[in-house]
Amino acid sequence: MSKIKTRDVKKDIKSLNKSPQTINRMQSLYDKSRRYQKEFDTPTEQSSDEYATNHLSELGNDLASQGKQGAETLLRRASDHRQRVKSRKDAQTIDFQEYSKKGAKQRHAKDQFRRSKVKHGKLDSRFHNMGIGSESNHNKSPLSKAQKRRFKVVRKSTVKTSAHAAKTAYKTKQATQQAAKQSARAVKAAAKTVTEVAKKIAQVAYAGAKLAVAAIKSLVSLLIAGGWVSVIVILIICLFGSALYVFGDSSSNSYTPISAEVEAYTPIIRIYAKNHGIPDYTELIKAVMMQESGGKGNDPMQASESGFNTKYPRTPNGITDPEYSIDIGIQNLASCLSSAGVTNPVDMDHIRLALQGYNFGNGYISWAQKNHGGYSVANAAEFSDMMATKNGWTGYGDKQYVAHVLRYYPYGHINQGIGNTVITQVALSQLGNAGGQPFWSWYGFNGRVEWCACFVSWCADQGGYIESGIIPKFAGCVNGANWFKDRGQWQERSYTPSPGDIIFFDWQGDGVTDHVGIVEKCENGMVYTVEGNNNNSVRQATYSVGSGIIYGYGVPKY
């Protein structure tokens, strides 16, 4: 760019034409603008507001250096303009000193771009109309066409710099939004991956674990019924059940599937479960119905004697409408669950209390909580005997109702280890029973026999293990031992047993078993047992591991 020629200026002349000097300043400003633009294209921590601040500050310094009179004129006009801006409240102050002190603030990209244009538009007008002369002469000198062109170049470059800054800020905002969208997509993809993994595990469970299959089916039922609160908990149980199967835990095989008749009632069960506030307990309701009737008859929930029955006689099988039976039975179970403090479908300690209350009546729940702190096989037997004596009956309810129901409940076996503990609890509940009449008469004998095997079989039946094929029904010790041997479930006397194992004895040492009991536990090299017909009573006994009077062990696949 060629340099504009100007006439010589003598220092002793007070009145000067400052237009050429203004053009030179604009040329300098243009060079600085180009430099600012290059700096902006290079990564920097300065914002677009800081660029504008520096730019205007330098411009003010250049103008102030022109002399006292020119500075006073500039400041006076700046002050006037500041007052106009303050009154209108729609423009930005051009007081360069105050602007520098305030510092830069981030603004919206579009607003920044608009204000930049306004500022530079004001400067256009200022320099175009500015005439800086002596105190007595304020005549303004118009700019030539060449000067105007140069001024436009400077203005365009300055505005372009601010526009570039605004555009960059806008692109940064877009990039941030795009990054947020990508993060959201990543989270969604991760969730999808977790779902696929769960499906794969479920497929493994379907391949062979009956319990996991039932649990997954119940999970689907919960989803359909809207039982979202328990879904995550039960999903964990399902996956845990699958893992047990994969790694060879046979306890999952103790689950007994419900019948087609009970399954057919599922839609009705869901409706009344929701009506009575227990939509998450559909599978438990099915298990109760399975134990009560197998889904057969006009009173499938055996709810006729319930206090909630107001339509039919409160006598056994008094209800003749299956749907009404389901309604009343679910209402009764909901009351028991509430009284027992059940929190979710896998809260097994409280569910056991609620189930026994469903069979005995709600009064058992408060009695067990007050006297024993909750449910146990022993206190269920105690309550049954107490109520039978009080009413002059031979029996009261089902002492083993909990075990009978839970064999049909998919969540009742995995997390509580019910398989090898129920039979020992049942056996312990009979301690002190003398003569064995309940056990040999249950088996089918009309008079007393050596009843140790009858006792073991009775305990197994109370836990549902005979029906599920886990333990045989046997009255002779030899037959019982051979049953386990034939299935590869036999261990010799040196074996360290587990609770629930069936222990066989050989009193004579002749290689023939002649007594049987149930292992309660094994600790510190000692085997603790519960035995029927031990001196004609149910008693506990203790033996050393590997004792010579031990014949061997049947090991049920709980």
DSSP secondary structure letters along 374-423? S--HHHHHHHHHHHHHHHT-S--S-TTHHHHHHTT-TTTTTTT-GGGTHH
Q: What pLDDT score does 558 carry?
A: 78
Of 332, 335, 334, 306, residue with least CA distance to 319 = 306
Q: Within 10 Å of residue 15's Cβ, how many Cβ atoms?
A: 10
Q: What pLDDT score does 272 carry?
A: 96
Is residue 203 classed exposed, middle or buried when 0-12, 13-18 and 19+ CB atoms within 10 A define those classes? exposed
Angle at 356 between CA 352 and CA 361, to 5 degrees: 140
Q: What pLDDT score does 125 carry?
A: 54
> Exposure pattern of 214-251 as b/e (b: 16+ CB <10 Å)?
bbbbbbebbeebebeebeebbbebbbebbbbbeeeeeb
Q: What 3-state class would DSSP assign to 545? A: coil
* Structural contact between residues 333 and 354, judged by C-beta atoms closer than 8 angstroms: yes
The alpha carbon torsion through 293, 298, 304, 308 (nearest 10 deg) reads 110
Inter-axis angle of helices 322-340 and 282-292, to 10 degrees? 120
Q: What pLDDT score does 381 carry?
A: 84
Instruction: Measure the CA–CA gap between 543 and 529, rounded to whole angstroms.
Output: 8
Backbone phi and psi for residue 431, each to the nearest 5 degrees, phi listed first: -55, 135
Here the tokens at position 497 are: 């047993």
Instruction: Measure the CA–CA gap between 204 and 114, rounded to whole angstroms.
Output: 64
Q: Within 10 Å of residue 433's Cβ, how many Cβ atoms?
A: 17
Here the tokens at position 197 are: 């993994």
Instruction: Measure the CA–CA gap between 210 and 215, rounded to whole angstroms.
Output: 9
Angle at 63 between CA 6 and CA 29, to 5 degrees: 70
Please tell me the pTM assigned to this model.
0.46
Instruction: Measure the CA–CA gap between 137 and 131, rounded to whole angstroms.
Output: 9
Backbone phi and psi for residue 36, each to the nearest 5 degrees, phi listed first: -60, -40
Here the tokens at position 127 are: 């320099």
Instruction: Measure the CA–CA gap between 75 and 60, rounded to whole angstroms.
Output: 10
Question: Hey, what domains does the chain have and what are their CATH numbers?
Answer: 19-176 (no CATH), 209-416 (1.10.530.10), 459-554 (3.90.1720.10)
Here the tokens at position 187 are: 């989270």
Could you read off the pLDDT of 409-421 as tens digits, one per residue? 877 654 444 456 7
Place of tokens 């049909």: 408
Q: Which residues pair with 554 in a beta bridge?
A: 490, 502
**DSSP letters for 444-463:** T-SS----HHHHHHHHHHHT
* Structural contact between residues 300 and 268, judged by C-beta atoms closer than 8 angstroms: no
Residue type, 508: Q
Could you read off the pLDDT of 226-235 as tens digits, one per residue? 544 445 545 5
Helix (H) or strand (E) run with residue 537 in it: strand 537-544
Q: Which residues pair with 515 in a beta bridge?
A: 505
Instruction: Measure the CA–CA gap between 126 and 141, rounded to whole angstroms.
Output: 13
Strands 515-523 and 502-505, sheet pairing: antiparallel
Which ranges of the chain have pLDDT less than 50? 1-20, 22-23, 40-41, 43-49, 56, 63-64, 67, 71, 89, 91-97, 99-100, 123, 127, 130-141, 194, 197, 200-210, 227-230, 233, 240-253, 414-418
